[in-house]
Amino acid sequence: MEFHSFQYLLFFLVVYTIYIVLPNKFRYIWLLAASYFFYYCANARYVPLLLGITLLAWLSGIGIEQAQRRNKTVMAKRLFVLTIILDLGILCYFKYTGFLLDNLKHFTTLFHTNTLSAIKDILPPLGISFIIFQSVSYTADVYKQTIPAERNAIKFAFYLAFFPKLVSGPIERAGTIIEQLRSPIRLHLADLKEGLSLILMGLFLKLVLSDNIAAVINPVFASWQDYSGLQIALALALFAFQIYGDFGGYSYIALGSARILGFQLSNNFESPFHAESVSEFWTRWHITLNNWLRDYLYIPLGGNRKGTLRKYVNTMIVFLLSGLWHGAEWTFVIWGGLNGLYIIAENVMKSTCKKAHRHGSSAEDRFSTHLRRRVITFLLFDFALLFFSMPNLSSALGMIRHSVTQPGIRELFNFGFLDLFPDIKTFAVITLALLILLWTDTIIYREKISYTTFFFRQSSAFRWLISIMAICMIIFFGAYGDTYEQTQFIYFQF
């Protein structure tokens, strides 16, 4: 049940209609039932697994808290470790068994043996990475006594299964969601307006920007041998915006759906392409995942408290595992490793840059300086995306070799690289959508406000004009356009 499908619209209308007439004390129970129905429609055979993960974390949290109250710290620690092992074991089984066996198969062929000739693909449950990470964070927070264990099983199940965030996040903390259930759920007209504006923005990013870009660049990634290096570079640049539109669009729809129902979810993006360093970029892109990795992996590993070398090692571990989290393929590991190396290089150069800035600090505020940093950050991120976009390592390396040997420099002067676009309409739609996105992000970045704050600062007439224009673009150039092909959200595979 895709967020941008008619089925989801019908599902949400039914859920909301019943929700608003229910007594307050039954509302979250109704949403829990709706969430499990949502998951059943997407992943019917794995509903028992979701129940099992929920029951494991809930019972474990209570057990850990009781053991700590009785000063049985060893028992609490063992229960905590066991729960984490079981959670991560479930994640590893579904996401990495095939990857490990496939690599073991290649290893055995080096010795002219093939004992693993038949490897059955294991289809991971939808949203398993997000569900497990939230379960782990809850267990860790209870163990660290950051939050109390939740005694109400239905409220805890609601935390893990709330349908707007169930499949692709945001990765919420238990304290954030469960705390909102401690007070009566109030429905306000302002929440309805804000939720609808967020959903409209999400649909625009997904249907008009991301899916139209996908139609242009998918043929390039499928048959890169037929394109020049310049066209591949343009496709990669567009791919960065496709992912942003796709995952950002999903996040806006998730936030908007939750807001209409009276809940606040965490923002996942904050104008990432305005970042002036890779370090800053990762504080603005997929924020909830990076905060999770910082709090539950980087800091427990020692963070930056145990010397410079250990700091760099911890950084690489975090980014390599972040890459592996995204997918069981060496391309994702390299993608994560490259971003880790970028950040280490930035840290190494920081002291040198500080010395240089002391002698030329006036250059720091120049527009050209900020622009240069943003362009460099984007290019570094975009090069790493080459590995993210390819199905395997050989294809990624082949694309790099092909781009170097067939650069297509002549196309830069005769605009031949624009042949990537099938027609002028597609080029115009993507360009307009990109300009709207960059304009909105620039205002949000400069004024340090949220999208909804920016939107509702405008006059009523302006808001209606923008909304009608967005709806028209979605209808004519998105969902009902003559060349539109609906695509699944990219992060559903993670």
- Whole-angstrom distance, CA of residue 21 vs CA of residue 28: 13
- What phi and psi, each to the nearest 5 degrees, are found at residue 330? -65, -25
Q: What are the DSSP calls for 252-266, one per residue?
A: HHHHHHHHHTT----
**Sign (positive or negative) of CA dihedral 147, 257, 482, 486:** positive
- What phi and psi, each to the nearest 5 degrees, are found at residue 389? -85, -20
Neighbours of 416 (CB within 10 A): 14
Task: Determine contact, residues 406/228, Cβ cutoff 8 Å.
Answer: yes
Closest-CA residue to 168 (of 479, 487, 490): 490
Q: Which residues contact 186 (CB under 8 A, 6 or more apart)?
A: 262
- Angle (CA) 234 372 267, round 5°: 75
- Whole-angstrom distance, CA of residue 299 vs CA of residue 297: 6
- Host H or E run for residue 248: helix 229-260
Closest-CA residue to 263 (of 329, 183, 360, 339): 183
- Host H or E run for residue 232: helix 229-260
Annotation marks residue 106 as catalytic: no
Q: Which residues contact 303 (CB under 8 A, 6 or more apart)?
A: 311, 314
CA distances from 107 to 102, 113, 157, 333 (A): 9, 9, 42, 18
Q: Hey, what are 43's tokens?
A: 């992943």
Q: Hey, what are 298's tokens?
A: 């980087």
Task: Determine contact, residues 485/220, Cβ cutoff 8 Å.
Answer: no
- Angle (CA) 291 135 316, round 5°: 40
Q: Which residues contact 16 (CB under 8 A, 6 or more apart)?
A: 260, 261
Task: Determine contact, residues 455/202, Cβ cutoff 8 Å.
Answer: no
- Angle (CA) 339 343 348, round 5°: 145
CA distances from 91 to 77, 124, 127, 391 (A): 21, 9, 10, 21
Note if the bond before 170 is cis, omega within 30 degrees: yes
Out of 112, 326, 370, 402, the active site residue is: 326
- Whole-angstrom distance, CA of residue 448 vs CA of residue 340: 27
- Whole-angstrom distance, CA of residue 196 vs CA of residue 408: 45
Active-site annotation, residues: 326
